[in-house]
Amino acid sequence: MHNTFWGIEHLFGSITRTRLLRIFLSNPAEAYFVRDLSRRISTQLNAVRRELDNLENLGIVKSEATSQKKFYRLDQANFLFPELKALLTKSQLFFEKNLGQAVDKLGQVQLLALTGRFTGLKESPVDMLIVGRVNRDDLKKIIVLLQNDFGEQINYTVMTQKEYNYRRQVTDKFLLSTLSQKKITLIDRLAS
């Protein structure tokens, strides 16, 4: 299994740089402290500092200092911003393909739907819904990789097809709200 699902880390020469770009491009107005970024991508502080210096030298991020801390934000005025944003969007297709294949290998997956963080709905209670029987230990490994790539916690729900059918039948609020919100369906083998 790869260290990341995005596939563009080879283009940028560094997984840390790719993860930082992913965070900045996904939240262009946000400002981040070095320690926060280090925790989000589970990378050593010095490696994050080094990549932030590289990104600042390229003009992709800019730093601002307060009396106590230095924070970084994306420089949206940089001429590369639209192209980097477009590249991130295109890499989403590669990500979805890789994630779908990885989860499909975990067992008998009937449904894999991405929502929440994957679709820009950060307030959603779940980011990934899986229906079927999967190896939970291997799924946890995939979730850890995703959390490292996104720099945020990924909330997921796994249910058997029997539980899924029952919840639909009783109009379970959680399931119906998850299915009705914006989602990316990577696997759908359920009989409608």
Q: What is the CATH number of the domain that holds 18?
A: 1.10.10.10
pLDDT at 3 over 60: no
Q: How large is the average pLDDT for residues 69-86?
A: 88
pLDDT of res. 1: 41
Does residue 55 belong to any structural domain of this protein?
yes
Print burial letters for 70-90: b (CB count within 10 Å at least 16), e (below 16): ebbbbbeebeebeebbebbee
What whole-number percentage of the chain has pLDDT above 70? Answer: 90
Residue ranges making up the domain that contains 59: 9-84
Question: pLDDT by residue (tens digit) across 7-25?
Answer: 555 566 678 888 888 889 8
Residues 77 and 113 in one domain: no
Q: How large is the average pLDDT for residues 174-179?
A: 92
Please, are residues 31 and 72 in contact by the beta-carbon 8 Å criterion?
A: yes
